[in-house]
A and B are shown apart, each in its own frame.
Chain A
Protein backbone atom coordinates (compact mmCIF):
# COMPACT_ATOMS: atom_id res chain seq x y z
CA UNK A 1 0.00 0.00 0.00
CA UNK A 2 1.22 3.48 -0.85
CA UNK A 3 2.51 5.44 2.10
CA UNK A 4 0.29 8.08 3.63
CA UNK A 5 1.64 11.60 4.01
CA UNK A 6 -0.09 14.49 5.72
CA UNK A 7 0.37 18.08 4.50
CA UNK A 8 -0.80 20.83 6.81
CA UNK A 9 -2.47 24.08 5.73
CA UNK A 10 -5.58 26.11 6.45
CA UNK A 11 -8.91 24.46 5.64
CA UNK A 12 -11.75 26.14 3.78
CA UNK A 13 -15.15 24.40 4.01
CA UNK A 14 -16.17 21.41 6.10
CA UNK A 15 -16.79 18.51 3.72
CA UNK A 16 -13.83 16.20 3.01
CA UNK A 17 -13.21 14.90 -0.53
CA UNK A 18 -10.86 12.42 -2.18
CA UNK A 19 -9.74 12.63 -5.80
CA UNK A 20 -6.69 12.62 -8.01
CA UNK A 21 -4.23 15.48 -8.22
CA UNK A 22 -4.23 17.73 -11.26
CA UNK A 23 -1.52 20.36 -11.13
CA UNK A 24 -2.66 23.68 -12.48
CA UNK A 25 -0.01 24.43 -15.04
CA UNK A 26 2.50 26.91 -13.77
CA UNK A 27 2.50 30.17 -15.65
CA UNK A 28 5.12 30.77 -18.26
CA UNK A 29 7.59 33.48 -17.36
CA UNK A 30 6.92 36.83 -18.99
CA UNK A 31 8.96 37.54 -22.13
CA UNK A 32 12.24 39.42 -21.73
CA UNK A 33 12.25 43.16 -22.38
CA UNK A 34 12.76 43.90 -26.06
CA UNK A 35 12.87 46.85 -28.41
CA UNK A 36 10.36 46.75 -31.25
CA UNK A 37 11.29 45.58 -34.72
CA UNK A 38 7.90 46.54 -36.10
CA UNK A 39 7.74 50.23 -35.17
CA UNK A 40 5.65 52.10 -32.59
CA UNK A 41 2.51 52.25 -34.67
CA UNK A 42 2.19 48.45 -34.79
CA UNK A 43 3.02 48.09 -31.09
CA UNK A 44 0.48 50.70 -30.00
CA UNK A 45 -2.12 48.99 -32.15
CA UNK A 46 -1.33 45.59 -30.60
CA UNK A 47 -1.63 47.08 -27.15
CA UNK A 48 -5.02 48.69 -27.84
CA UNK A 49 -6.39 45.46 -29.28
CA UNK A 50 -5.14 43.41 -26.32
CA UNK A 51 -6.79 45.78 -23.86
CA UNK A 52 -10.07 45.79 -25.79
CA UNK A 53 -10.01 42.00 -25.88
CA UNK A 54 -9.38 41.73 -22.14
CA UNK A 55 -12.19 44.19 -21.42
CA UNK A 56 -14.53 41.93 -23.39
CA UNK A 57 -13.31 38.85 -21.52
CA UNK A 58 -13.95 40.54 -18.18
CA UNK A 59 -17.36 41.83 -19.27
CA UNK A 60 -18.45 38.30 -20.19
CA UNK A 61 -17.15 36.87 -16.91
CA UNK A 62 -18.68 39.60 -14.79
CA UNK A 63 -22.01 38.94 -16.47
CA UNK A 64 -21.73 35.21 -15.81
CA UNK A 65 -20.53 35.59 -12.20
CA UNK A 66 -23.32 34.72 -9.80
CA UNK A 67 -21.26 35.24 -6.68
CA UNK A 68 -21.10 38.80 -5.38
CA UNK A 69 -17.56 38.58 -3.98
CA UNK A 70 -16.18 37.14 -7.19
CA UNK A 71 -17.98 39.74 -9.27
CA UNK A 72 -16.48 42.56 -7.24
CA UNK A 73 -12.98 41.16 -7.65
CA UNK A 74 -13.47 40.88 -11.41
CA UNK A 75 -14.95 44.37 -11.65
CA UNK A 76 -11.95 45.83 -9.85
CA UNK A 77 -9.51 44.01 -12.16
CA UNK A 78 -11.50 45.05 -15.20
CA UNK A 79 -11.36 48.69 -14.11
CA UNK A 80 -7.57 48.49 -13.78
CA UNK A 81 -7.27 46.91 -17.23
CA UNK A 82 -9.27 49.70 -18.86
CA UNK A 83 -7.52 52.50 -16.97
CA UNK A 84 -6.57 55.17 -19.54
CA UNK A 85 -3.48 56.08 -17.49
CA UNK A 86 -2.08 52.58 -17.97
CA UNK A 87 -2.70 52.57 -21.71
CA UNK A 88 -1.26 56.05 -22.17
CA UNK A 89 1.87 55.26 -20.22
CA UNK A 90 2.43 51.97 -22.03
CA UNK A 91 1.95 53.70 -25.38
CA UNK A 92 4.58 56.27 -24.42
CA UNK A 93 7.06 53.45 -23.85
CA UNK A 94 6.15 51.99 -27.28
CA UNK A 95 6.77 55.39 -28.87
CA UNK A 96 10.20 55.30 -27.20
CA UNK A 97 10.88 52.09 -29.12
CA UNK A 98 9.82 49.25 -26.77
CA UNK A 99 7.58 46.45 -27.99
CA UNK A 100 4.05 46.19 -26.63
CA UNK A 101 4.71 43.54 -23.90
CA UNK A 102 7.72 45.53 -22.67
CA UNK A 103 5.84 48.85 -22.72
CA UNK A 104 3.05 47.27 -20.71
CA UNK A 105 5.40 45.77 -18.13
CA UNK A 106 7.31 49.04 -17.77
CA UNK A 107 4.07 51.00 -17.30
CA UNK A 108 2.58 48.60 -14.78
CA UNK A 109 5.97 48.45 -13.05
CA UNK A 110 5.59 52.13 -12.21
CA UNK A 111 2.24 51.56 -10.52
CA UNK A 112 3.58 48.51 -8.72
CA UNK A 113 6.59 50.41 -7.38
CA UNK A 114 4.20 53.01 -5.93
CA UNK A 115 2.38 50.23 -4.07
CA UNK A 116 5.46 48.46 -2.80
CA UNK A 117 5.70 48.23 0.94
CA UNK A 118 2.05 49.22 1.27
CA UNK A 119 1.16 45.91 2.93
CA UNK A 120 -2.38 44.86 3.76
CA UNK A 121 -5.16 45.33 1.26
CA UNK A 122 -3.22 47.77 -0.89
CA UNK A 123 -0.14 45.55 -1.14
CA UNK A 124 -2.37 42.58 -2.03
CA UNK A 125 -3.67 44.46 -5.10
CA UNK A 126 -0.24 44.00 -6.73
CA UNK A 127 -1.42 40.48 -7.56
CA UNK A 128 -4.33 41.98 -9.51
CA UNK A 129 -1.94 44.14 -11.53
CA UNK A 130 0.27 41.11 -12.30
CA UNK A 131 -2.81 39.22 -13.42
CA UNK A 132 -3.73 41.95 -15.90
CA UNK A 133 -0.21 42.12 -17.35
CA UNK A 134 -0.14 38.34 -17.68
CA UNK A 135 -3.51 38.17 -19.44
CA UNK A 136 -2.64 40.96 -21.87
CA UNK A 137 0.74 39.48 -22.81
CA UNK A 138 -0.81 36.04 -23.15
CA UNK A 139 -3.23 37.45 -25.70
CA UNK A 140 -0.44 39.31 -27.55
CA UNK A 141 1.57 36.11 -27.89
CA UNK A 142 -1.48 34.31 -29.27
CA UNK A 143 -1.83 31.72 -26.51
CA UNK A 144 -5.13 30.28 -25.35
CA UNK A 145 -6.61 32.16 -22.43
CA UNK A 146 -7.56 29.25 -20.19
CA UNK A 147 -5.88 26.18 -18.85
CA UNK A 148 -7.78 23.22 -20.32
CA UNK A 149 -9.59 21.05 -17.76
CA UNK A 150 -10.52 17.43 -18.49
CA UNK A 151 -14.25 17.07 -19.15
CA UNK A 152 -14.66 13.79 -17.26
CA UNK A 153 -13.42 12.73 -13.84
CA UNK A 154 -12.90 14.32 -10.45
CA UNK A 155 -9.81 16.30 -9.61
CA UNK A 156 -8.09 18.13 -6.81
CA UNK A 157 -6.52 21.19 -8.38
CA UNK A 158 -3.06 21.92 -6.98
CA UNK A 159 -1.32 25.24 -7.61
CA UNK A 160 1.06 27.75 -6.06
CA UNK A 161 -1.87 30.11 -5.97
CA UNK A 162 -4.95 30.75 -8.08
CA UNK A 163 -6.39 33.94 -9.50
CA UNK A 164 -10.12 34.67 -9.76
CA UNK A 165 -9.82 34.09 -13.52
CA UNK A 166 -8.44 30.62 -12.78
CA UNK A 167 -11.17 29.68 -10.34
CA UNK A 168 -13.90 30.96 -12.63
CA UNK A 169 -12.79 28.40 -15.21
CA UNK A 170 -13.43 25.54 -12.77
CA UNK A 171 -16.11 23.12 -13.90
CA UNK A 172 -17.80 20.31 -11.98
CA UNK A 173 -14.71 18.11 -12.39
CA UNK A 174 -12.96 20.26 -9.79
CA UNK A 175 -13.93 18.79 -6.41
CA UNK A 176 -11.13 20.20 -4.27
CA UNK A 177 -8.28 22.68 -4.24
CA UNK A 178 -4.86 22.80 -2.60
CA UNK A 179 -2.71 25.93 -2.88
CA UNK A 180 0.73 26.65 -1.54
CA UNK A 181 -0.05 30.35 -1.09
CA UNK A 182 -3.12 32.23 0.07
CA UNK A 183 -4.77 32.54 3.47
CA UNK A 184 -8.24 32.26 5.01
CA UNK A 185 -9.31 35.55 3.41
CA UNK A 186 -7.48 35.27 0.05
CA UNK A 187 -9.32 35.25 -3.28
CA UNK A 188 -8.96 31.49 -3.57
CA UNK A 189 -10.51 30.91 -0.16
CA UNK A 190 -13.39 33.33 -0.78
CA UNK A 191 -14.28 31.79 -4.12
CA UNK A 192 -13.92 28.19 -2.93
CA UNK A 193 -16.07 28.91 0.12
CA UNK A 194 -18.81 30.51 -1.96
CA UNK A 195 -18.75 27.70 -4.54
CA UNK A 196 -18.66 24.98 -1.89
CA UNK A 197 -15.32 23.58 -3.08
CA UNK A 198 -13.29 22.23 -0.13
CA UNK A 199 -9.78 23.67 -0.10
CA UNK A 200 -6.52 23.71 1.80
CA UNK A 201 -4.73 27.03 1.36
CA UNK A 202 -1.32 28.09 2.72
CA UNK A 203 -0.27 24.45 2.34
CA UNK A 204 3.51 24.74 2.35
CA UNK A 205 4.02 21.11 1.34
CA UNK A 206 1.87 21.43 -1.80
CA UNK A 207 4.96 20.96 -3.99
CA UNK A 208 5.00 17.28 -2.98
CA UNK A 209 1.74 16.62 -4.80
CA UNK A 210 2.13 15.15 -8.28
CA UNK A 211 -0.37 14.47 -11.04
CA UNK A 212 -2.37 11.27 -10.70
CA UNK A 213 -1.74 10.88 -6.96
CA UNK A 214 -4.85 10.21 -4.86
CA UNK A 215 -5.27 12.83 -2.18
CA UNK A 216 -7.85 13.57 0.49
CA UNK A 217 -8.68 17.23 1.17
CA UNK A 218 -9.96 17.46 4.74
CA UNK A 219 -10.74 21.12 5.46
CA UNK A 220 -12.07 20.33 8.92
CA UNK A 221 -8.62 19.10 9.95
CA UNK A 222 -6.83 21.60 7.68
CA UNK A 223 -4.96 18.76 6.02
CA UNK A 224 -4.28 17.35 2.56
CA UNK A 225 -3.57 13.63 2.95
CA UNK A 226 -1.57 11.94 0.20
CA UNK A 227 -2.92 8.41 -0.34
CA UNK A 228 -5.48 9.07 2.40
CA UNK A 229 -8.86 7.37 2.61
CA UNK A 230 -12.16 9.13 3.22
CA UNK A 231 -13.20 6.33 5.57
CA UNK A 232 -10.54 7.57 7.99
CA UNK A 233 -12.34 10.88 8.33
CA UNK A 234 -15.92 9.72 8.36
CA UNK A 235 -18.01 12.83 8.99
CA UNK A 236 -20.72 10.78 10.68
CA UNK A 237 -18.29 9.23 13.17
CA UNK A 238 -20.70 9.96 16.02
CA UNK A 239 -23.72 8.29 14.34
CA UNK A 240 -23.42 5.17 16.50
CA UNK A 241 -24.02 7.18 19.68
CA UNK A 242 -27.54 6.94 21.06
CA UNK A 243 -29.77 9.95 20.73
CA UNK A 244 -30.73 11.07 24.26
CA UNK A 245 -33.88 12.78 23.01
CA UNK A 246 -32.63 16.36 23.24
CA UNK A 247 -29.47 18.40 23.48
CA UNK A 248 -27.48 18.20 26.72
CA UNK A 249 -27.47 21.98 27.03
CA UNK A 250 -29.69 24.62 25.48
CA UNK A 251 -28.89 25.38 21.81
CA UNK A 252 -29.90 28.86 20.75
CA UNK A 253 -29.34 30.75 17.50
CA UNK A 254 -27.39 33.85 16.52
CA UNK A 255 -29.46 36.34 14.56
CA UNK A 256 -28.56 39.63 12.86
CA UNK A 257 -31.43 40.26 10.48
CA UNK A 258 -35.08 39.45 9.85
CA UNK A 259 -33.98 36.83 7.29
CA UNK A 260 -31.77 35.11 9.91
CA UNK A 261 -34.60 35.22 12.41
CA UNK A 262 -37.04 33.54 10.03
CA UNK A 263 -34.47 30.84 9.21
CA UNK A 264 -34.11 29.75 12.86
CA UNK A 265 -37.78 29.85 13.80
CA UNK A 266 -37.52 26.37 15.30
CA UNK A 267 -34.42 27.12 17.45
CA UNK A 268 -34.68 27.12 21.22
CA UNK A 269 -34.43 30.89 21.56
CA UNK A 270 -31.92 33.44 20.36
CA UNK A 271 -28.65 33.67 22.29
CA UNK A 272 -27.36 36.65 20.37
CA UNK A 273 -29.47 39.15 18.50
CA UNK A 274 -26.97 41.59 16.98
CA UNK A 275 -28.33 45.10 16.56
CA UNK A 276 -25.39 46.88 14.88
CA UNK A 277 -26.00 45.29 11.48
CA UNK A 278 -29.22 47.27 11.11
CA UNK A 279 -27.31 50.54 11.22
CA UNK A 280 -24.07 49.97 9.29
CA UNK A 281 -25.40 51.99 6.36
CA UNK A 282 -27.12 54.72 8.36
CA UNK A 283 -25.66 58.19 7.94
CA UNK A 284 -27.90 59.66 10.63
CA UNK A 285 -29.00 58.13 13.91
CA UNK A 286 -32.35 56.35 13.73
CA UNK A 287 -35.12 57.70 15.95
CA UNK A 288 -36.44 55.70 18.89
CA UNK A 289 -39.58 54.87 16.89
CA UNK A 290 -37.56 53.70 13.88
CA UNK A 291 -35.47 51.47 16.10
CA UNK A 292 -38.54 50.04 17.79
CA UNK A 293 -40.03 49.12 14.40
CA UNK A 294 -36.81 47.36 13.31
CA UNK A 295 -36.56 45.32 16.52
CA UNK A 296 -40.26 44.45 16.46
CA UNK A 297 -39.88 43.04 12.92
CA UNK A 298 -37.01 40.77 13.86
CA UNK A 299 -38.60 39.64 17.15
CA UNK A 300 -41.84 38.81 15.35
CA UNK A 301 -39.99 36.83 12.65
CA UNK A 302 -37.83 34.81 15.06
CA UNK A 303 -38.36 31.84 17.37
CA UNK A 304 -40.29 31.76 20.63
CA UNK A 305 -38.51 31.52 23.97
CA UNK A 306 -35.62 33.40 25.48
CA UNK A 307 -34.32 36.19 23.21
CA UNK A 308 -31.09 37.91 24.20
CA UNK A 309 -30.68 41.23 22.44
CA UNK A 310 -27.18 42.66 22.43
CA UNK A 311 -26.99 46.42 22.55
CA UNK A 312 -25.02 48.17 19.84
CA UNK A 313 -21.60 46.57 19.29
CA UNK A 314 -20.21 49.28 17.03
CA UNK A 315 -16.67 50.42 16.42
CA UNK A 316 -13.55 48.58 15.26
CA UNK A 317 -14.51 46.40 12.28
CA UNK A 318 -18.14 47.58 12.49
CA UNK A 319 -17.97 51.35 11.99
CA UNK A 320 -21.21 53.28 12.25
CA UNK A 321 -21.12 56.75 10.73
CA UNK A 322 -23.54 58.59 12.98
CA UNK A 323 -21.81 57.74 16.26
CA UNK A 324 -18.81 60.00 15.58
CA UNK A 325 -16.15 57.56 16.77
CA UNK A 326 -13.49 59.11 14.50
CA UNK A 327 -10.17 57.69 13.41
CA UNK A 328 -8.35 55.44 15.86
CA UNK A 329 -4.88 53.93 15.53
CA UNK A 330 -6.00 50.68 17.17
CA UNK A 331 -9.79 50.54 16.82
CA UNK A 332 -9.99 47.02 18.28
CA UNK A 333 -8.61 48.52 21.49
CA UNK A 334 -10.54 51.77 21.18
CA UNK A 335 -14.01 53.17 21.67
CA UNK A 336 -16.20 50.23 20.74
CA UNK A 337 -19.04 48.19 22.17
CA UNK A 338 -20.41 49.54 25.44
CA UNK A 339 -17.69 52.22 25.48
CA UNK A 340 -19.61 53.99 22.69
CA UNK A 341 -22.44 54.73 25.17
CA UNK A 342 -20.30 57.49 26.68
CA UNK A 343 -19.98 59.37 23.37
CA UNK A 344 -23.48 58.61 22.07
CA UNK A 345 -25.62 58.68 25.24
CA UNK A 346 -28.83 59.49 23.40
CA UNK A 347 -28.57 56.52 21.06
CA UNK A 348 -27.71 54.27 24.00
CA UNK A 349 -30.74 55.35 26.02
CA UNK A 350 -33.03 55.27 22.96
CA UNK A 351 -31.91 51.76 22.13
CA UNK A 352 -32.70 50.29 25.55
CA UNK A 353 -36.16 51.83 25.51
CA UNK A 354 -36.80 50.87 21.88
CA UNK A 355 -35.91 47.23 22.54
CA UNK A 356 -38.21 47.15 25.57
CA UNK A 357 -41.09 48.76 23.67
CA UNK A 358 -40.60 46.39 20.72
CA UNK A 359 -40.55 43.38 23.06
CA UNK A 360 -43.74 44.52 24.78
CA UNK A 361 -45.54 45.15 21.49
CA UNK A 362 -44.59 41.74 20.04
CA UNK A 363 -45.56 39.98 23.31
CA UNK A 364 -48.91 41.76 23.15
CA UNK A 365 -49.60 39.92 19.88
CA UNK A 366 -49.47 36.64 21.81
CA UNK A 367 -45.95 35.58 20.84
CA UNK A 368 -44.23 33.69 23.64
CA UNK A 369 -40.91 35.50 24.02
CA UNK A 370 -38.89 36.64 27.02
CA UNK A 371 -36.55 39.42 25.93
CA UNK A 372 -33.42 40.33 27.83
CA UNK A 373 -30.52 42.63 26.97
CA UNK A 374 -26.77 42.33 27.27
CA UNK A 375 -23.93 44.76 26.71
CA UNK A 376 -20.81 44.03 24.64
CA UNK A 377 -17.20 44.79 25.60
CA UNK A 378 -17.51 45.02 29.37
CA UNK A 379 -14.11 45.19 31.07
CA UNK A 380 -14.92 46.08 34.67
CA UNK A 381 -17.54 45.37 37.34
CA UNK A 382 -18.26 49.11 37.44
CA UNK A 383 -19.19 49.12 33.74
CA UNK A 384 -21.46 46.14 34.33
CA UNK A 385 -23.15 47.96 37.25
CA UNK A 386 -23.82 51.05 35.12
CA UNK A 387 -25.29 49.00 32.28
CA UNK A 388 -27.42 46.86 34.62
CA UNK A 389 -28.77 49.99 36.31
CA UNK A 390 -29.68 51.63 32.97
CA UNK A 391 -31.22 48.46 31.53
CA UNK A 392 -33.34 47.87 34.63
CA UNK A 393 -34.42 51.52 34.54
CA UNK A 394 -35.65 50.89 30.99
CA UNK A 395 -37.82 48.07 32.34
CA UNK A 396 -35.72 44.91 31.81
CA UNK A 397 -35.74 42.31 34.56
CA UNK A 398 -33.12 40.04 32.97
CA UNK A 399 -29.82 41.78 32.23
CA UNK A 400 -26.48 40.37 31.10
CA UNK A 401 -23.05 41.17 29.75
CA UNK A 402 -20.70 39.75 27.16
CA UNK A 403 -17.51 38.15 28.39
CA UNK A 404 -14.93 38.98 25.75
CA UNK A 405 -12.28 41.04 27.49
CA UNK A 406 -9.84 38.98 29.58
CA UNK A 407 -9.95 41.50 32.46
CA UNK A 408 -13.58 40.77 33.35
CA UNK A 409 -12.88 37.02 33.57
CA UNK A 410 -10.76 37.67 36.67
CA UNK A 411 -13.59 39.31 38.67
CA UNK A 412 -16.63 37.19 37.84
CA UNK A 413 -17.34 36.54 41.53
CA UNK A 414 -17.97 40.26 41.97
CA UNK A 415 -20.72 40.20 39.32
CA UNK A 416 -22.98 38.29 41.71
CA UNK A 417 -26.17 40.29 42.17
CA UNK A 418 -25.13 42.69 39.40
CA UNK A 419 -26.04 40.71 36.28
CA UNK A 420 -28.39 37.77 35.68
CA UNK A 421 -26.44 36.05 32.91
CA UNK A 422 -23.24 36.20 30.87
CA UNK A 423 -22.43 35.28 27.30
CA UNK A 424 -18.91 34.54 26.10
CA UNK A 425 -17.88 36.02 22.76
CA UNK A 426 -15.06 33.68 21.79
CA UNK A 427 -13.97 35.66 18.71
CA UNK A 428 -13.03 38.80 20.57
CA UNK A 429 -11.95 36.91 23.68
CA UNK A 430 -9.40 35.04 21.51
CA UNK A 431 -8.30 38.24 19.81
CA UNK A 432 -7.52 39.88 23.15
CA UNK A 433 -6.21 36.76 24.87
CA UNK A 434 -3.74 35.89 22.12
CA UNK A 435 -2.91 39.46 21.00
CA UNK A 436 -3.94 38.36 17.51
CA UNK A 437 -5.89 40.68 15.19
CA UNK A 438 -9.11 39.00 14.01
CA UNK A 439 -8.83 40.54 10.56
CA UNK A 440 -5.15 39.67 9.95
CA UNK A 441 -4.83 36.32 8.16
CA UNK A 442 -1.16 36.14 9.20
CA UNK A 443 -2.13 35.29 12.79
CA UNK A 444 -5.17 33.14 12.01
CA UNK A 445 -3.75 30.00 13.64
CA UNK A 446 -3.71 31.68 17.06
CA UNK A 447 -7.44 32.28 16.76
CA UNK A 448 -8.29 28.60 16.42
CA UNK A 449 -11.01 28.15 19.08
CA UNK A 450 -9.49 24.81 20.12
CA UNK A 451 -6.41 26.57 21.50
CA UNK A 452 -5.72 25.09 24.95
CA UNK A 453 -5.49 28.52 26.59
CA UNK A 454 -8.95 29.45 25.32
CA UNK A 455 -10.40 26.17 26.61
CA UNK A 456 -8.72 26.83 29.96
CA UNK A 457 -10.24 30.30 30.26
CA UNK A 458 -13.69 28.94 29.26
CA UNK A 459 -13.42 26.42 32.08
CA UNK A 460 -12.36 29.06 34.57
CA UNK A 461 -15.27 31.33 33.54
CA UNK A 462 -17.73 28.43 33.88
CA UNK A 463 -16.42 27.51 37.33
CA UNK A 464 -16.51 31.08 38.62
CA UNK A 465 -19.98 31.69 37.16
CA UNK A 466 -21.36 28.57 38.82
CA UNK A 467 -19.90 29.72 42.16
CA UNK A 468 -21.51 33.14 41.68
CA UNK A 469 -24.82 31.58 40.62
CA UNK A 470 -24.80 33.31 37.21
CA UNK A 471 -25.80 31.42 34.04
CA UNK A 472 -23.15 31.50 31.32
CA UNK A 473 -23.44 30.74 27.60
CA UNK A 474 -21.18 30.97 24.57
CA UNK A 475 -22.32 32.90 21.51
CA UNK A 476 -19.07 33.16 19.52
CA UNK A 477 -18.32 31.33 16.26
CA UNK A 478 -16.72 28.56 18.30
CA UNK A 479 -20.17 27.42 19.47
CA UNK A 480 -21.03 26.58 15.86
CA UNK A 481 -18.54 23.68 15.93
CA UNK A 482 -20.60 20.70 17.21
CA UNK A 483 -17.67 18.92 18.85
CA UNK A 484 -16.48 22.10 20.53
CA UNK A 485 -20.04 22.72 21.77
CA UNK A 486 -19.87 19.31 23.48
CA UNK A 487 -16.55 20.23 25.08
CA UNK A 488 -18.09 23.51 26.28
CA UNK A 489 -20.94 21.59 27.89
CA UNK A 490 -18.35 19.40 29.60
CA UNK A 491 -16.48 22.47 30.84
CA UNK A 492 -19.65 23.68 32.57
CA UNK A 493 -21.08 26.12 30.03
CA UNK A 494 -24.90 26.29 30.37
CA UNK A 495 -25.94 27.09 26.78
CA UNK A 496 -24.54 27.71 23.32
CA UNK A 497 -25.76 30.00 20.59
CA UNK A 498 -24.72 28.93 17.09
CA UNK A 499 -24.92 30.52 13.65
CA UNK A 500 -28.21 29.90 11.87
CA UNK A 501 -26.68 27.32 9.52
CA UNK A 502 -25.08 25.33 12.39
CA UNK A 503 -27.93 25.08 14.92
CA UNK A 504 -29.12 21.71 13.58
CA UNK A 505 -25.66 20.08 13.58
CA UNK A 506 -24.80 21.40 17.06
CA UNK A 507 -28.14 20.19 18.47
CA UNK A 508 -27.63 16.80 16.82
CA UNK A 509 -24.28 16.05 18.43
CA UNK A 510 -25.31 17.55 21.78
CA UNK A 511 -28.30 15.18 21.72
CA UNK A 512 -25.97 12.21 21.43
CA UNK A 513 -23.89 12.85 24.54
CA UNK A 514 -24.64 12.68 28.22
CA UNK A 515 -22.96 14.72 30.92
CA UNK A 516 -20.36 12.02 31.53
CA UNK A 517 -19.35 11.83 27.86
CA UNK A 518 -19.16 15.63 27.56
CA UNK A 519 -17.01 15.82 30.69
CA UNK A 520 -14.62 13.17 29.39
CA UNK A 521 -14.35 14.99 26.02
CA UNK A 522 -13.66 18.24 27.87
CA UNK A 523 -11.06 16.60 30.07
CA UNK A 524 -9.32 15.08 27.06
CA UNK A 525 -9.27 18.40 25.21
CA UNK A 526 -8.00 20.27 28.28
CA UNK A 527 -5.06 17.87 28.53
CA UNK A 528 -3.80 18.67 25.02
CA UNK A 529 -0.98 21.08 24.27
CA UNK A 530 -2.12 22.22 20.81
CA UNK A 531 -5.38 23.14 19.11
CA UNK A 532 -5.14 20.16 16.77
CA UNK A 533 -4.44 17.71 19.59
CA UNK A 534 -7.28 19.16 21.66
CA UNK A 535 -9.77 18.52 18.87
CA UNK A 536 -8.58 15.00 18.11
CA UNK A 537 -8.43 14.12 21.81
CA UNK A 538 -12.02 15.27 22.30
CA UNK A 539 -13.16 13.20 19.34
CA UNK A 540 -11.24 10.16 20.56
CA UNK A 541 -12.84 10.48 24.00
CA UNK A 542 -16.31 10.36 22.41
CA UNK A 543 -15.32 7.42 20.19
CA UNK A 544 -14.02 5.53 23.25
CA UNK A 545 -16.88 6.24 25.62
Chain B
Protein backbone atom coordinates (compact mmCIF):
# COMPACT_ATOMS: atom_id res chain seq x y z
CA UNK B 1 0.00 0.00 0.00
CA UNK B 2 1.35 3.39 -1.01
CA UNK B 3 -0.26 6.57 0.33
CA UNK B 4 0.20 9.99 -1.20
CA UNK B 5 -1.16 13.42 -0.34
CA UNK B 6 -2.37 16.32 -2.47
CA UNK B 7 -4.38 19.54 -2.18
CA UNK B 8 -7.44 20.31 -4.28
CA UNK B 9 -7.09 23.60 -6.15
CA UNK B 10 -9.96 23.37 -8.60
CA UNK B 11 -12.62 25.88 -7.68
CA UNK B 12 -15.62 23.52 -7.78
CA UNK B 13 -13.99 20.95 -5.48
CA UNK B 14 -14.30 17.23 -5.95
CA UNK B 15 -17.59 16.90 -7.82
CA UNK B 16 -18.96 17.44 -11.32
CA UNK B 17 -16.31 17.13 -14.01
CA UNK B 18 -13.25 16.73 -11.72
CA UNK B 19 -14.99 13.87 -9.82
CA UNK B 20 -15.97 12.13 -13.05
CA UNK B 21 -12.45 12.25 -14.39
CA UNK B 22 -11.02 11.25 -11.03
CA UNK B 23 -13.24 8.15 -10.76
CA UNK B 24 -12.59 7.15 -14.37
CA UNK B 25 -8.82 7.18 -13.78
CA UNK B 26 -9.20 5.18 -10.54
CA UNK B 27 -11.40 2.67 -12.36
CA UNK B 28 -8.79 2.17 -15.08
CA UNK B 29 -5.96 1.61 -12.60
CA UNK B 30 -4.69 -1.98 -12.34
CA UNK B 31 -5.01 -1.87 -8.51
CA UNK B 32 -7.58 -0.51 -6.07
CA UNK B 33 -7.43 3.21 -5.34
CA UNK B 34 -9.03 4.68 -2.23
CA UNK B 35 -9.23 8.28 -1.10
CA UNK B 36 -10.27 10.37 1.88
CA UNK B 37 -9.63 13.50 3.88
CA UNK B 38 -7.00 13.14 6.64
CA UNK B 39 -8.50 11.44 9.71
CA UNK B 40 -11.54 10.03 7.92
CA UNK B 41 -12.08 6.54 6.43
CA UNK B 42 -10.93 6.10 2.83
CA UNK B 43 -13.60 5.41 0.18
CA UNK B 44 -13.34 3.71 -3.19
CA UNK B 45 -12.07 6.23 -5.69
CA UNK B 46 -13.78 4.52 -8.64
CA UNK B 47 -17.18 5.60 -7.27
CA UNK B 48 -18.31 9.13 -8.16
CA UNK B 49 -21.03 8.87 -5.49
CA UNK B 50 -18.46 8.02 -2.79
CA UNK B 51 -16.24 10.88 -3.99
CA UNK B 52 -19.22 13.22 -3.69
CA UNK B 53 -19.81 12.18 -0.07
CA UNK B 54 -16.27 13.30 0.82
CA UNK B 55 -17.54 16.86 0.36
CA UNK B 56 -14.00 17.87 -0.57
CA UNK B 57 -13.67 21.57 -1.41
CA UNK B 58 -10.98 23.68 -2.97
CA UNK B 59 -8.08 23.89 -0.51
CA UNK B 60 -8.85 20.54 1.18
CA UNK B 61 -6.09 17.95 1.51
CA UNK B 62 -6.72 14.41 0.23
CA UNK B 63 -4.91 11.18 1.09
CA UNK B 64 -4.90 8.78 -1.84
CA UNK B 65 -4.01 5.11 -1.21
CA UNK B 66 -2.81 2.71 -3.90
CA UNK B 67 -3.11 -1.05 -3.24
CA UNK B 68 0.25 -1.85 -4.79
CA UNK B 69 3.93 -1.86 -3.86
CA UNK B 70 4.99 -0.64 -7.28
CA UNK B 71 6.05 2.91 -6.52
CA UNK B 72 6.41 3.75 -10.19
CA UNK B 73 2.92 2.50 -11.16
CA UNK B 74 1.33 4.24 -8.18
CA UNK B 75 3.02 7.48 -9.07
CA UNK B 76 1.82 7.29 -12.63
CA UNK B 77 -1.82 6.99 -11.50
CA UNK B 78 -1.30 9.61 -8.78
CA UNK B 79 -0.13 12.22 -11.27
CA UNK B 80 -3.14 11.64 -13.48
CA UNK B 81 -5.46 11.94 -10.48
CA UNK B 82 -3.80 15.13 -9.29
CA UNK B 83 -4.21 16.69 -12.73
CA UNK B 84 -8.02 16.36 -12.43
CA UNK B 85 -8.25 18.30 -9.16
CA UNK B 86 -5.60 20.97 -9.64
CA UNK B 87 -5.51 23.94 -11.95
Q: Chain A: residues with CB nearer than 8 A to chain B?
A: 72, 75-76, 79-80, 83-86, 111, 114-115, 118, 121-122, 125, 129, 280-281, 283, 317, 319-321, 326-328
Contacts and interface: CB of A to CB of B under 8 A. Distances in A.
Interface string B3-23: 000010101110111011001
Given A75-B20, A327-B58, A121 B53 contact: no
Interface in B13-60: 13, 15-17, 19-20, 23-24, 44, 46-50, 52-53, 55, 58-59
Given A121-B15, A319-B11, A80 B87 contact: no
A11 to B, nearest CB: 26
B52 A85 contact: no
Contacts of A122: 13, 15, 52, 55
A111 B49 contact: yes
Given A79-B20, A122-B13, A111 B87 contact: no
Contacts of B87: 280-281, 283, 319-321
A107 B23 CA distance: 19
Contact of A76 (B7, B16, B53): B16
Contacts of A72: 16-17
B84 to A, nearest CB: 13
Contacts, number: 68
19 contacts: A75-B17, A79-B48, A83-B23, A83-B48, A83-B50, A84-B47, A85-B44, A85-B47, A111-B49, A121-B12, A121-B13, A121-B16, A122-B15, A125-B15, A125-B52, A283-B87, A320-B87, A326-B59, A327-B7
Interface centre among A79, A84, A320, A326, by most chain B C-beta atoms within 10 angstroms, is: A79
A319 B7 CA distance: 14
A504 B48 CA distance: 45
Given A85-B47, A115-B53, A125-B52, A76 B17 contact: yes
A87 to B, nearest CB: 10
A76 B15 CA distance: 8
Contacts of A84: 46-47
Nearest to A78: B20
A317 B11 contact: yes
A80 B15 CA distance: 11
Given A76-B16, A319-B87, 11 more contacts: A72-B16, A76-B15, A79-B24, A85-B44, A85-B50, A111-B52, A129-B49, A280-B87, A283-B86, A321-B86, A326-B59
Contact of A79 (B7, B23, B44): B23
Contacts of B55: 115, 118, 122
Interface centre among B7, B58, B87, by most chain A C-beta atoms within 10 angstroms, is: B87
A79 B23 CA distance: 9
Contacts of A129: 49
